[in-house]
Structure 1
């Protein structure tokens, strides 16, 4: 009969107990985190600092509004001191607008270019890790960190701005279109992938950063020129004439006027430029006769309402993410064949 004995040397722990429920990084993910941990911790620190600052400033703003007469908030009669809080909101929004630039130049451009320049890429891909897996991990980990930090910051900014909409002309929605909602996240991911692609092609860190800066600035210019075209332009008009005492059309609250200004509306529904009959404006009778000869019956104005803001943001973000996905696909396909 065999007697079973207990061997404490085989069952006793040799070190401190480990919490196996804590996720542990390994393989390419651990390598990417290790390589860029300074940038990642900087992102996390900047996110936390930004959140704390915005929460504090929002609290001050809401305390100020709570101390005001409720009727003054509805009528737009807030004291001049309110502009101080408006300026703070604009300042934070302008700081966050630089996230896409930093994402492309400081995070995207050096990501692969640095590894190619130092030989790290050759060392990694000579191991058991495939190029495809390394490239996907190299893109995914920083992109996830960037999306998380940008999303949190813009969510807090949106939370700060939402209760203030309509309280000041300086808080019109078009001023915050690109720094609230889903747009900043998609914008940052786009410039990040563009920076990675530039670094992969040029293979030199400093040169890639400079070229990426130029491309990101160009992207910003194009975006500023085109994002309003994502909305559906609406019109408001009058048909009571344009002479003395005639009331011009009034835009809905928080709507942004589009086009050149106020147009003349004819009886047939056509619109004439506001410069029509301008050469006779000094003579009231001649000016009136000129407009009557063109059958002008009132004014017309184009605008985009604030109700379209979220739809436009999602549409713009979708376009940016589609382009970012295409650039990321190019990076992976190009890198698999010509990485070294």
Structure 2
């Protein structure tokens, strides 16, 4: 049964291996370039260099490349689910070959177990290899820039892509079992995976652990994208570096003075002269602060394991449903 599965799957496996080889060469070369840039701007930097300028250099050089590479890592589990998982049962049912296959000496549950196990392990290995390569390549960048919780970065690093692949395969199989049509099953699998990649970071992941609430002093290094003047006073947004490496969950927040009252426009208007660094230094001298909610950087691996376990659990439940459904028979 394993030999037969390999015979049926070897074309897709060879294509995947060729793609993995090409991406390995690209990511290794990218990782070496990133390390060279990091050494030049951080490790071997003289006293006159600053971390802020090093961050700017790294972001300008590698942000878009790493973003596209991460998109590929997240796309791989979706492709695995749609092109490997969805046709696994749907194609057999659609062509009618399941009547022959499931009436041989191999039971339908054993047939599904071997097929699912083979494809799932291959998908997990492929997603894991790409995730490992990208995590290694981007590690100096991530160390310097921070932001590992970023919704565009978190699903592309370390262990969560492995769980995505396992879930995508089982989801594709179940959708194929229910639709019994290959093309619709593939399309629905892609849509479900894409929907989860939007839903999880926006509504589920932020609440896996209770956020920390903290009062932060406004300093000259606080990066603020916007000062908003409302009826109650000044509010700020875009203060992502207020707690380095953390995941900010609060949006626009009021800027408060030493007495805890919201700052009025007139209190800081005289600071804005057009030079952003001097403007921020001027505002910082007024002893201001603001309150934020965030997930600390120390919880990164906790969130990785929680999301990893959640997707594995969902995949396991879907696999259980697939075995239950296939034992009932398909007319």
Give the TM-score normalised by the residue count of structure 1.
0.75
Secondary structure of 1:129's counterpart equals: coil
Secondary structure of 1:299's counterpart equals: strand
Distance in 1 separating the partners of 2:304 and 2:5: 32
Could you tell me whether the CA contact under 8 Å between 2:127 and 2:161 is conserved in 1?
Answer: yes
TM-fit CA distance, 1:77: 1.9
Distance in 2 separating the partners of 1:250 and 1:117: 54
Could you tell me whether the CA contact under 8 Å between 1:236 and 1:250 is conserved in 2?
Answer: no
TM-fit CA distance, 1:173: 3.8
2:206 matched residue in structure 1 = 228
Q: Give CA-to-partner distance per residue, 1:155-176, whole Å, 9 cap, x none.
A: 111111222224337x554231
1:70 matched residue in structure 2 = 45
Q: Which residue, out of 111, 136, 141, partners 1:164?
A: 141
Distance in 1 separating the partners of 2:93 and 2:49: 58
Secondary structure of 1:236's counterpart equals: strand
2:230 matched residue in structure 1 = none
Matched, 1:138 2:111: no
Secondary structure of 1:66's counterpart equals: helix
1:217-296 paired onto structure 2 within 5 Å: 217-225=194-202, 226-237=204-215, 251-263=242-254, 281=264
Query: Cα gap change, 1:310/1:74 in structure 2, threshold over 3 Å: closer, same or farther?
Result: farther
Structure with higher Rg: it is 1
Distance in 1 separating the partners of 2:192 and 2:123: 19
Query: Cα gap change, 1:79/1:218 in structure 2, threshold over 3 Å: closer, same or farther?
Result: closer
Distance in 2 separating the partners of 1:143 and 1:321: 11
Could you tell me whether the CA contact under 8 Å between 2:170 and 2:319 is conserved in 1?
Answer: yes
Could you tell me whether the CA contact under 8 Å between 1:191 and 1:216 is conserved in 2?
Answer: yes
1:299 matched residue in structure 2 = 290
Query: Cα gap change, 1:35/1:165 in structure 2, threshold over 3 Å: closer, same or farther?
Result: same
- The unaligned stretches of length 5 or more in structure 1 are 1-27, 285-296
Could you tell me whether the CA contact under 8 Å between 1:105 and 1:209 is conserved in 2?
Answer: yes
Distance in 1 separating the partners of 2:17 and 2:319: 24
Query: Cα gap change, 1:237/1:209 in structure 2, threshold over 3 Å: closer, same or farther?
Result: same
Q: Which residue, out of 191, 203, 209, partners 1:214?
A: 191
Query: Cα gap change, 1:253/1:282 in structure 2, threshold over 3 Å: closer, same or farther?
Result: closer
Query: Cα gap change, 1:81/1:30 in structure 2, threshold over 3 Å: closer, same or farther?
Result: same
1:116-195 paired onto structure 2 within 5 Å: 116-168=93-145, 172-174=148-150, 175-195=152-172
Query: Cα gap change, 1:221/1:249 in structure 2, threshold over 3 Å: closer, same or farther?
Result: closer
TM-fit CA distance, 1:59: 0.9
TM-fit CA distance, 1:177: 0.6
Could you tell me whether the CA contact under 8 Å between 1:110 and 1:209 is conserved in 2?
Answer: yes
Greater Cα offset, 158-167 or 181-190: 158-167
TM-fit CA distance, 1:91: 1.7
2:302 matched residue in structure 1 = 311
Q: Give CA-to-partner distance per residue, 1:207-227, whole Å, 9 cap, x none.
A: 222222322222222213222
Give the alignment's Cα RMSD to 1 decimal: 3.2
Distance in 2 separating the partners of 1:250 and 1:194: 38
1:13 matched residue in structure 2 = none
Could you tell me whether the CA contact under 8 Å between 1:237 and 1:299 is conserved in 2?
Answer: yes
Q: Which residue, out of 326, 329, 334, partners 2:320?
A: 329
Query: Cα gap change, 1:166/1:231 in structure 2, threshold over 3 Å: closer, same or farther?
Result: farther
Distance in 2 separating the partners of 1:266 and 1:67: 41
